[in-house]
Every structure is written in structure tokens, then in C-alpha cells.
Amino acid sequence: MSSIKFKIDKPHIIIIIIIEIMAIVFQFIIILFSIFSLMYFTFTCAHVIPKLPSSAVSPELQQRSISAQNGLYRTKFFTQILDHFNYNPESYQTFQQRYLINDTYWGGAKKKAPIFVYMGNEGDIQWFAQNTGFMFEIAPYFNAILVFIEVSL
């Protein structure tokens, strides 16, 4: 058996050593960056569990709901968080988001009946519900529930 020997002169050894040292330094920098990133996100991002808003509806909204009852829909309210992108406790302001619902033809969740949702424009959702005949026309064919969500008023 013959062995192959490579002759490496001094300048090449120095270059190889420098490359090895650079690789070790680069790995060390990556490890430090990972540790500091982990520490930063652990200590600066508070683990705040958002409080759920109360479901109390103000008396004037209840009165508005009762006066709005008709044959097309029922008026309901959902306590909505105003700011969905900020989890600081001071951002938990809420408002009562109004929605109208008609479940006359709904087949139910067990039958996988669809939910038709109309996201209201910048206006009174009752006007859109009363002037959107198409949804009321197709709901019986699909056994669908109709939900009209008021975006803003």
C-alpha cells in the first residue's frame, strides 16, 4: 500500500488556520446573536393574556335592538375589542358591535349548512339588510343562516 503525502507550505497553512479561525468566530457570533435574540424576545415581549370584554349591553342599545325587531332579522350585539393589534392592558377598550341575524332557513351545523355573511359598508346595517334581497332569496335554497355585520356607523 502506498500512502499519498501532500506537501503544504507555510503560506497555505496560515491561510487554512485563518479560515478555521474565521469559521469559529462566525459560529460564535451566530450563537451570541441567537442567545441575545431569545433574551430580547423573552424579556421585552410581555406575556399578557388579554382580558375578555364583558358581554353587558348598554340600555340604549337594548332599546335600539327591541325597536329594530322585524320579520327579516333579529338585532344582536357583540362586545368587540377596539384594537386587535395591541395587547397592552390600556388598549382593551371595547364597543358593542351590532349584527343582524336571520336563521329562519338554517339547516344547522350538523348538516354543514352555510353561513352567508354581509359585511356592512359605512352606513346603517339595517338599511343594507333591508335592501339586499339576493341573500334572502338564496338562503332557503342553501339552508343558510344570514348574518349582517355592521362595520361602522
Instruction: Give the pLDDT confidence of 6-16 residue by residue, as tens digits.
Output: 666 667 778 88
User: Quick check: 58 and 96 in contact, CB under 8 A?
Assistant: yes
Q: Do 38 and 111 belong together in one domain?
A: no
Residue 66 domain flag: yes
- The string of pLDDT tens digits covering residues 61-105 is 555 554 455 678 899 998 887 777 777 777 777 888 889 999 999
Q: Do 78 and 104 belong together in one domain?
A: yes
Q: What is the phi-psi region of residue 112: left when phi exceeds 0, alpha when psi lies from -120 to 50, beta otherwise? A: left
Domain hosting residue 114, numbered range: 59-149
Residue 26 domain flag: yes
Q: Do 74 and 97 belong together in one domain?
A: yes
Residue 86 domain flag: yes
Q: Do 97 and 133 belong together in one domain?
A: yes
Q: Do 72 and 106 belong together in one domain?
A: yes
Q: Do 33 and 75 belong together in one domain?
A: no
- Looking at the structure of the chain, the number of domains it has is 2
Q: Do 26 and 69 belong together in one domain?
A: no
Nearest to 104 by CA among 139, 153, 68: 139
pTM metric for this prediction: 0.53
